[in-house]
Amino acid sequence: MNIHNNTSAVIHNLLTMACVLLLTSCATVQQLDTLNKRMGAFEIAYGETLQIIDRWLTQGMIDDGNKATLQKHIKKIQSARQAFYVAKKVNDFNKAKDSLDIATKSLELMREFIKLKTEQTQGKLHTLNPVVNL
């Protein structure tokens, strides 16, 4: 159990470091923060998260309840992304920025949900149930 807790703590710290690295990369590499750069970073983060969810779904590792919750998060992000691209197309940059903020917040919430569910099942590795409750 201690091993799992230690592993969880290490992973937690490394995840935090990765997030800090992600955020500082925008500040160190670029002189100017633009809407396209921010949206590009968002799309990359979103794509990586979607790939994990898709793989876990394919492997049958997500139960129906968690799947429905994840789909709800994805629908919120989908709406915000669509609003972003529409606003950008008509040069409504304030609306585009607001939509990106909503999409980013929703993605953060979804990743928190995934992390929480993963941590909650730490220490339950030896149960006979083959389905991991995300």
How many CB atoms are located within 10 Å of the residue 90 CB?
9
Out of 65, 75, 93, 116, the residue judged to bind other proteins by CB under 8 A: 75
The answer to whether residue 1 forms part of the interface with other proteins (CB under 8 A) is no
Spatial contact of 73 and 109, defined as CB atoms under 8 Å apart: yes
Binding to other proteins (CB under 8 A) within 3-62 occurs at 4, 7-8, 11, 14-15, 18-19, 21-22, 25-26, 29-32, 34, 36-37, 39-41, 43-54, 56-57, 59, 61
User: Looking at beta carbons, which pairs linking 37-44 to residues 24 or more positions away fall under 8 Å?
Assistant: 38/100, 39/84, 39/100, 42/100, 42/103, 42/104, 42/107
Cα–chain center distance at 106: 8
Q: Which of residues 79-118 bind other proteins (CB under 8 A)?
A: 81, 85, 111, 114-115, 118
Confirm if 90 and 57 have CB atoms less than 8 A apart. no
Minimum CB separation from other proteins for residue 80, in Å?
Answer: 12
- Contact between 95 and 24 under an 8 Å Cβ cutoff? The reply is no
Residues that bind other proteins (CB under 8 A): 4, 7-8, 11, 14-15, 18-19, 21-22, 25-26, 29-32, 34, 36-37, 39-41, 43-54, 56-57, 59, 61, 67, 70-71, 74-75, 77-78, 81, 85, 111, 114-115, 118-119, 121-122, 124-125, 132, 134
